[in-house]
Chains A and B, each alone.
Chain A
């Protein structure tokens, strides 16, 4: 596996009696944006913190950039960047100073001004971080993780709690990382985020992996039923079908014959959100 940036075999993590991660396998390849999806409490953050070297595992094999994160040294830390799930900035430093402080921790940092442009904070470079919006602060978080020019970037729920415009801003910054050739390990519980950003998606629920694939073919989405909905005499009608072409033909044929108006007729393919909900619900029902 020469191109494996992250390699996990049989990873387990217990807190007392509770097993948060119950034997998972993962491979993340060089240059991809890998989304690790799951509801709150599924074991996402535990897994990512083991990969980042913050937590010790209970069992299993873990390699990140060829090293065991539990024994990651300074040389290893030079090669990874971390955006934590929640981390405030120092309110008394400006954007430029925050990046300058972190640049000093690395032996070969990217130029501060270059990173400021990269995360789109050019107009805010000399503003104190306390005055930035949530989206701008998140972009600075990404900038601070990028300042050491890492090969691998961890983003732990980068847009949780954001309003739509802040999310869009953060997404643009993350999408830009792929163009830089970085490998990105993204955890999220938002489907649209994974769909928009990721090359590959893996879903974890209750500490086990329940699905993996690309955003398009995840969970055998092609074979899931199509939904047809409309209003008839003011009543909402919803139907699911695995044979949408024939069923739709019959429905509309009858409607034309009888002169019925199918108000708000819609045909929808299951989206990633539906797949995710069905996968994590099955798991929860066990």
Chain B
């Protein structure tokens, strides 16, 4: 009776998710504008100095990959956790489950949307870094860069979907997400260069995926004078966190509102 092709259904859902994302001022501000503003602030405040990591590199060259890391996590984990909780508590997820649309299409549409925005943010921050601060784009390592971005986007998307299970209401979404991510950005060296962080802090941050995603991305984006290459260990830890998120999400994700 039904002959709706899965891929066509995904494309249909994705198209609407894109439309909704770009029309929502909050999502555009926090996901797109906020990382750009952060880069401009860090580059303005700390510009012209040197960070003694990777054999000593300019602060601008440090903050471009750092802010790309943040932008990817923001477009995936943060954006998915918030928008899914809002849709769940609105009853929109439940309504969708009452249609013939398979569950995976809905999730795939959202994750696809996040992944595209994440890749776009990479391009945007890289371009601003090149044009305003002369931070070279390493074209030669583009395949590794895309690999790290795709693994990171997938892992942090899974973590964002899993996190919705711990968020009881729309009002709690932003505080919970920020309380998790903001300290880890600081401790993982995204905001403060890691040469200024005590080693104990770094060890603590090493237990979480943000630090490893940042390291993996930094290695392929700008190895400095160390000649570092992609560290599979870092990428594997990010992937393991992603799988853990996926397992938690399949077990605990709910389509019906928790409140009322």
List residues of A whose CB falls within 8 A of some B CB. 52-54, 74-75, 77-78, 80, 82, 84, 86-90, 92-93, 97, 100-102, 104-107, 144, 148
B16 touches A54 (CB 8 A): no
B24 touches A92 (CB 8 A): yes
A84 touches B94 (CB 8 A): yes
List residues of B whose CB falls within 8 A of some A CB. 1-4, 9, 12-13, 16, 19-20, 23-24, 87, 90-92, 94-95, 97-102, 256, 260
B98 touches A82 (CB 8 A): yes
Sample of 21 A–B contacts (CB below 8 Å): A52-B98, A54-B94, A54-B98, A74-B2, A77-B100, A86-B91, A87-B94, A87-B95, A92-B19, A92-B20, A92-B24, A93-B19, A97-B19, A100-B16, A101-B16, A104-B13, A105-B9, A106-B4, A106-B99, A106-B100, A107-B2
Contact of B9 among A86, A100, A104, A148 (CB under 8 A): A104
Q: How far apart are the CA atoms of A97 and B23 in the complex, in Å?
A: 13
CB-CB < 8 A to B98: which residues of A?
52-54, 77, 80, 82, 84
A74 touches B100 (CB 8 A): yes
CB-CB < 8 A to B13: which residues of A?
101, 104
A87 touches B90 (CB 8 A): yes
A92 touches B23 (CB 8 A): yes
CB-CB < 8 A to B95: which residues of A?
82, 84, 87, 144
CB-CB < 8 A to A107: which residues of B?
1-4, 100
Q: How far apart are the CA atoms of A183 and B12 in the complex, in Å?
A: 30
Q: How far apart are the CA atoms of A107 and B9 in the complex, in Å?
A: 10
Q: Which one of A80, A89, A104 has the greatest number of beta carbons of chain B within 10 Å?
A: A104
CB-CB < 8 A to A148: which residues of B?
99-100
Q: Give A104's nearest chain B residue, CB to CB.
A: B12
CB-CB < 8 A to A54: which residues of B?
94, 97-98, 256
Give the Cβ gap from A136 to chain B, nearest Cβ, in Å: 17
